[in-house]
Amino acid sequence: MAEGDISLEETPTWAVAVVCFVLLAISITIEFILHLIGKWLKKKNKRALYEALEKIKAELMLLGFISLLLTVGQGPISEICIPKSVGETWHPCNKKQEKKKYEDGKNNSDDNSRRKLLTFLDPNENNRRVLAADKYGKCPEA
């Protein structure tokens, strides 16, 4: 949290209620609009489009449920530690192929002229793309 931010426990109840009400109102409005579109499609005998709309609604429901599960479980999920020996075996290329590709990239001037975003280069290890490197993670060094 940035300095000056307040936690959810310190947030006024009315502010939390307003945010929840706005999200609920938007959800109900979207559901009502989809219901009206479904009624219109049935009235115009567009059975295939109506079925497609129902499939989209089901997928959105599933996506929302998965999002809820990920939000609720983000703490336990982030504490899962994968052993380094297992992590090193799940590469699409073996170490020889990765080393050859890295050396070929060094010799190719066209390849070196491009920016390499999100790349962590360590002479002792393979090239790995890193989104958020945490040197002091919760996993014990093994």
Please write the tens of the pLDDT for every residue from 45-86.
999 999 999 999 999 889 989 998 988 888 888 788 877 777
Length of the chain: 142
Longest dimension (CA), the chain: 67
DSSP state, 9? G
Instruction: Give 22's pLDDT tier (boundaries 50, 70, 90).
Output: very high
Compute the distance between CA of residue 93 and CA of residue 103 in angstroms, rounded to an integer: 15
pTM for the full predicted model: 0.49
Domain boundaries, the chain: 27-70
Tokens of 27: 């959800």
Average pLDDT of the residues in 124-129: 53
Confidence of residue 122 (pLDDT cuts 50, 70, 90): low
